Structure 1
């Protein structure tokens, strides 16, 4: 079985992995530490991550760590609503993250916007000296945050709240490559509207619809995170009389630094949402422009067709009387010059027809019908 349980210590910066919860407890005899994650006497901040936890494992871990049944129910049922909840000895942050974390466009890797990976629940439980996360397999948030902790110069400054901040920051950074790809796609569509041919413009309609759908999905997934982050910051900034003890004191050095980090993440998130709204405005304007261009082309084509049809109508009007005359004399009746030798009558009738046609054409030309 893969090692789905991982215990990381910020003091030793070592990770202990196991395939089962019992194996993690017995391997390093961590029962006492796990049973009281809120103990203030320990200087070590540990981090327990469980990947793809089953409902039975969630129940066992929540019972061992004194986690509220409502939290256990949200984790076991994969609650999709993003939220922050405060309990007696911990707070819960529920986020939706992407299964695949693509590379940034600046690294040379192009992110395809054909579809966005499915979002899955990522649950962060923050105690006084511990962080417990329930993560899905396929996302690399845990590994990246561990590497970030190892690169931190002062590992003692890493608290459970800082680990929560780093995870939130990494989850939001996952959407950055898709935002950059959407920016490039919007700029490309805007540049192509007035330089492409009519037949090529028609192919842009599915591209625009697909891009606007992706922009709406990105905005929807990031808007919930903005609400959660606002609630997190407000709880940290509350007065000492109303603030829950599980949140850091904003007046302390640790709490002040955490608020600074969270404000930076919030600014990044607000900027990303504003950029997505701007890209959607660009795409909407481009869509209106090429729809207007198609409408103008259709009107011009309609005028050309009407002009041709008017000329055909004039010609038909000229030839219909001649057709009627020839039709009448084509019946079993006598015609002029029927018993006269030679072609004088035929040439005369034909000349009269030609003269009639030329006269009608001159009149139509003068009236600008031809």
Structure 2
């Protein structure tokens, strides 16, 4: 059984760091070499390692298993390698247009693998996953891979091969399996980050202030969007793994027993999908709680406003008639019970008493009808 080495979670550089075009880098490793060779162009790599010419020739007389990886290739590099390795025009087109659909296709002497790893990208909306493209052309005696952006997966597979080279039956199909396995493992840090965020959100539902509910709902929206994005990428991986397992015999992978290890990757994918489903359910439940609390707070606020308006209405209903009465006596009229001979305040106190009685009566009526 092929051992799996423990890999530390790593994130790729932010998308902002890749705005300037990344330099093209050719990396070559072989079962006959102790390490790997790197160069900025194919001609420089040929100068460093002359036996590489045996692979690039039409006869393909190289004695050993080889792996040539190209990071951030230009269209000229893709065209040159397609001509050297006699790639099918459909394969050449998929690589040049950065085909996003993940798949495995059989083309006679080789099969073509298209994968989308995830990397960490900082945006205005927060941290999210952004896919990049990795392609592999798998021959019986070697692998030609294209990485459209910097990623750690190719390096992880090379280290894994170096650590277990003494007891590992290395084939090109195993390299393809290891590449898929490492790319799938690369989703684990994103899912762990989502799970931590969901647990923190779940714990804060009961203590969130009404003023912060809008912000909490916005965070839930971004979390659900990220979960949907990761789930979609993992869903595509499931189809690729099933296709790989179904066509193992056609690819000649039966001798390397790669099919025995594909179920391990598929179980890993299903486990991560289950974790994402659980996170999605928790987010949906938290969103429902926040919306219920928001609806309750809105209803309570409406009731408070309605109660305050009803009080203002009662006060206005009391004040307006009184103002009408006092307004009448503010005009040029004869004051009741006032004459030249008698100067008494009885009428004034009588009017004031009537006004006070009206106020008390209005308040009693308002209390009876439960307006106040």
> How does the TM-score come out when normalised to structure 2?
0.85
Partner of 1:248: 253
Give the structure 2 partner of residue 105 of structure 1.
none
Partner of 2:351: 349
Q: Shift in Å at residue 156 of structure 1?
A: 4.6
Give, in whole Å, the separation in 1 of the partners of 2:364 and 2:23.
Answer: 93
**Aligned match for 1:45, one of 61, 65, 83:** 65
Which range is displaced more, 146-155 or 285-294? 146-155
Change (3 A) 1:140 1:329: same
Distance in 1 between residues matched to 2:296 and 2:281, nearest whole Å: 22
Q: What secondary structure is seen at the aligned counterpart in 2 of 1:94?
A: strand
Paired residues of 1:100 and 1:117 also in contact (CA < 8 A): yes
2:72/2:148 contact within 8 Å kept = yes
Post-superposition offset of 1:26 = 3.9
Q: Cα gap change, 1:315/1:113 in structure 2, threshold over 3 Å: closer, same or farther?
A: closer
CA offset at residue 348 of structure 1? 1.6
Q: What's the offset of the Cα at 1:365? A: 2.6
CA distance in 1, matches of 2:223, 2:83: 46
Tell me, yes or no, if the aligned pair for 1:84 and 1:91 is still in contact at 8 Å: yes
Structure 1 residue 313: Cα displacement:
2.0
Structure 2's unaligned 5+ residue stretches are 1-21
Q: In 2, Cα distance between the equivalents of 1:96 and 1:196? A: 38
Per the alignment, residue 86 of structure 2 pairs with 66
Alpha-carbon deviation of 1:315? 2.7
Q: Relative to structure 1, is the Cα distance of residues 351 and 209 closer, same or farther in structure 2, using a 3 angstrom cutoff?
A: same
Considering only aligned residues, what root-mean-square deviation do their CA atoms show, in Å? 2.5
Aligned CA distance change for structure 1 residues 367 and 113 (closer, same or farther; 3 Å): closer
Structure 1's unaligned 5+ residue stretches are 103-111, 237-242
User: CA, structure 1 residues 284+100, in 2 after alignment: closer, same or farther (shift >3 Å)?
Assistant: closer
Distance in 2 between residues matched to 1:148 and 1:368, nearest whole Å = 79
Query: 1:82 corresponds to which residue?
Result: 102
CA positional deviation for 1:85 = 0.8
Q: Counterparts in 2 of 1:49-198, with a 5 A limit? A: 49-99=69-119, 114-152=126-164, 154-198=166-210
What is the CA deviation profile of residues 101-121 of structure 1, one whole-angstrom value per residue up to 9, with x for unaligned ones?
99xxxxxxxxx9923253221
Deviation per CA, 1:291-340: give whole Å up to 9, x if none. 11111111112222222222322232233222222222322333313435
The answer to whether the 8 Å contact 1:49/1:135 transfers is: yes
The 3 A distance-change label for structure 1 pair 303 and 113 is closer
Q: Distance in 2 between matches of 1:90 and 1:69?
A: 13
Cα distance in structure 2, aligned partners of 1:38 and 1:208: 55
Displacement of 1:199: 1.0
Q: For residue 49 of structure 1, give the secondary structure of its aligned residue in structure 2.
A: strand
TM-score (norm 1): 0.86
CA contact (8 A) 1:100 1:138 kept: no
